Amino acid sequence: MPYREDRLWLQTDAPYELKCETDLALPPEGYRLSCINGVYSVASADEAGKLYGSYALREKILLGETDFSVTSAPAVSERILNHWDNITGVVERGYSGASLFFQNGNISYDPERIRFYARLLASVGINRICFNNVNVTGRSAKLITGELLPDLAALAEIFRPYHIKIIVAVDFNSPVMLGGLPTSDPLDEGVAVWWRAAADMVYAAIPDLAGFLVKADSEFRAGPAALGRTQADGANVIARALKPHGGKTYWRCFVYNCEQDWRDAQTDRPKAAYDHFQPLDGTFDGNVILQIKYGPSDFQVREPNSPLLGAMRNTAQAIELQITQEYTGQQIDLYALAAQWEEIFTSPVSDTRQTRDLVGREIIAVTAVANTGRDENWTGHTLAQANLYAFGRFAWNPAEKAKDVLNDWIGLTFGTEPQLREPLLNMLLTSRDVYEKYNAPLGVCWMVNIHHHYGPSPEGYEFMKWGTYHRASRTSIGVDRTEKGTGYTAQYHPYLDKLYSDPATCPEEMLLYFHRMPYDYILKSGKTILQHIYDTHFEGVEDVENYIATWISMKPLLPDSAYQSVLERLRRQLDNAKEWRDVINTYFYRLTEIPDEKGRMIYP
């Protein structure tokens, strides 16, 4: 598949004169820009800072800005992209074609394209990449063996000039699977020896490797719990093997009972990460980073932030976002994640702190699941490029505003004409709300088709083993997660516990995440929950219709390939929005037999 550079924010470099200087007073990777008498200048303490500064300068020039007096440094030293690429070439939750890195069980890529990709990532400050899926299956476990390591080292070589270091996802059970040991027990000395030898070999090939990423005890993957050991035991044995080389263990916290019985109303999946990890605070080695999904469920359209974020004062944490649109439209529906990320980072952790205040303190890394693949336009939906771009910006500076980031992306990608830029910015900024309107209502989550997660299925997950229940009846819906229910809210700071525990103060968009409510409960809008559901679902479809009209009106301002491909996606989105509208409305109509106040069509 050929790829296009001409419709990305990072287009072929325009030449411009640039003066570089060293200023050791600047923080690592930081830069200071200036433009004096027409001479652009980048000051930095290190080579990485020079790189980021020159990209930042280039952006300003392309955007036609005039003020170049900027000093900037990243909030965290690790800004990580996680690919979920299988070594077969298939990308788990990938909606942009095959893997950029793997084919048929081997590392295989177009070096020119990968070089461009490295440059693209560096241009937004990403400095860590993991190529292989956290679900380490088949031959991908062997990436840390002599069989595949030379190829991995060659790939790392391409990223090195762009100051991007490699992470490898490894299988916790490697000592058994690869080493032939009888156990992977982290307290077994033979296992520790095996991990040290494995680390030594990997670092001999890739001396600047960032570390190993591990999904353990999670969704049928091996882990320490199955061996009667703690998550800290598991993470530490690997961290100790990496430590002499300066490497880290990235240890995912997505640990929950994925074989729950739906009849069990006490077990509550959102409680799992906190219950498993918070009590272990202080027992993880210094080079372990706990990688925590931003929300307690699983990258849903709407959920609260994870109570585990910031709940461990003595443990390094990474917040994990998802750029690939698993539950958010699969790069068919428009969904600019920047708006959601701004919410996540500005969500309160207590009465005095927001999540973004943790970044650079407890949270020392920002990571996300990639949305790129071999599609010509990299991201399936051309406008989904904005999500990769925005991730870089938010990882660098979690205090970013979605509006600024998206406005910059549009300017860099499509130009700065206001007739294009303003309507497109409006589309992107509202896209999350629109998707939410026609999706599951009020934070109820999981009303999606099982397995592939696109399209509505109101009871698709209702009786399954994944711990994902809304328990809708003819009168009410939702799970009481307060102290009167599952007790989940107690995992939050008392300020938030109180806020979320009272339906009157709970943010309404999360009402059904925290409470079981009757359909006739009156929202602040004066509408019942039921009428709110009907209204938002009709509105969502109308909004998508308006997107299409807007997009068509901008045709003269758009390159034809982008115009056509986005139009095709918007039309598919409209079908999807109608399907959601009708299924969700019908579902609630059948449960209540209360008609829409406005008499619109709800299928019986």
- Point out which residues bind its own copies (CB under 8 A): 262-263, 265, 450, 456-460, 462-463, 471-475, 582-583, 586, 589-593, 603-604
Catalytic residue among 29, 171, 285, 326: 326
Q: Which residue, 136 or 472, is less far from its own copies as judged by CB?
A: 472
In single-letter form, the type of residue at position 565 comes to: S
78 is catalytic: no
| DSSP string computed for 81-135 | EEEEE-TTSPBTT--SSS-SSEETTEE---HHHHHHHHHHHHTTT--EEEEE-SS
> Which residues sit opposite 22 in a β-bridge?
44
- Closest C-alpha among 538, 547, 554, 536 to residue 571: 547
Distance, CA of 507 to CA of 451 (rounded, Å): 30
Report the Cα 381 to chain-centroid distance in Å. 17
Report the run of H or E that residue 144 belongs to, with start and end. none
* Shortest Å distance, C-beta 399 to its own copies: 42
Q: For tokens 């959920």, name the residue.
A: 303
Q: Which residue, 469 or 513, is less far from its own copies as judged by CB?
A: 469
- Closest C-alpha among 229, 13, 23 to residue 123: 13
Catalytic residue among 219, 261, 568, 597: 219
Q: Is 319 helix (H, G, I), strand (E, B) or coil?
A: strand
Distance, CA of 351 to CA of 530 (rounded, Å): 32
* Shortest Å distance, C-beta 590 to its own copies: 4
Q: Which residue, 345 or 588, is less far from its own copies as judged by CB?
A: 588
Q: Which residue, 498 or 578, is less far from its own copies as judged by CB?
A: 578
> Which residues sit opposite 477 in a β-bridge?
517
* Shortest Å distance, C-beta 478 to its own copies: 13
* Shortest Å distance, C-beta 167 to its own copies: 35
* Shortest Å distance, C-beta 576 to its own copies: 13
- Closest C-alpha among 303, 349, 331, 346 to residue 442: 303
298 is catalytic: yes
Report the Cα 281 to chain-centroid distance in Å. 24
Distance, CA of 28 to CA of 69 (rounded, Å): 19
Q: Which residue, 64 or 604, is less far from its own copies as judged by CB?
A: 604
Q: Which residue, 517 or 583, is less far from its own copies as judged by CB?
A: 583
> Which residues sit opposite 43 in a β-bridge?
21, 32
Q: Length of the chain in residues, anyone?
A: 604
* Shortest Å distance, C-beta 333 to its own copies: 18
Q: Which residue, 313 or 451, is less far from its own copies as judged by CB?
A: 451
Distance, CA of 555 to CA of 400 (rounded, Å): 30
* Shortest Å distance, C-beta 464 to its own copies: 8
> Which residues sit opposite 322 in a β-bridge?
369
* Shortest Å distance, C-beta 519 to its own copies: 11
Q: Which residue, 103 or 457, is less far from its own copies as judged by CB?
A: 457
Q: Is 471 left (phi over 0), alpha (psi -120 to 50) or beta?
A: left
* Shortest Å distance, C-beta 386 to its own copies: 31
Distance, CA of 140 to CA of 101 (rounded, Å): 12
**Are the beta carbons of 157 and 207 closer than 8 angstroms?**
no
Where in 308-436 does DSSP place strands (E)?
Answer: 316-322, 363-369
Half-sphere exposure of residue 537, counting CA atoms within 13 Å on the CB side?
Answer: 29
400 is catalytic: no
Q: Is 422 helix (H, G, I), strand (E, B) or coil?
A: helix
Distance, CA of 507 to CA of 399 (rounded, Å): 21
Catalytic residue among 298, 333, 357, 375: 298
Q: Which residue, 71 or 592, is less far from its own copies as judged by CB?
A: 592
Residues with catalytic function = 219, 298, 326
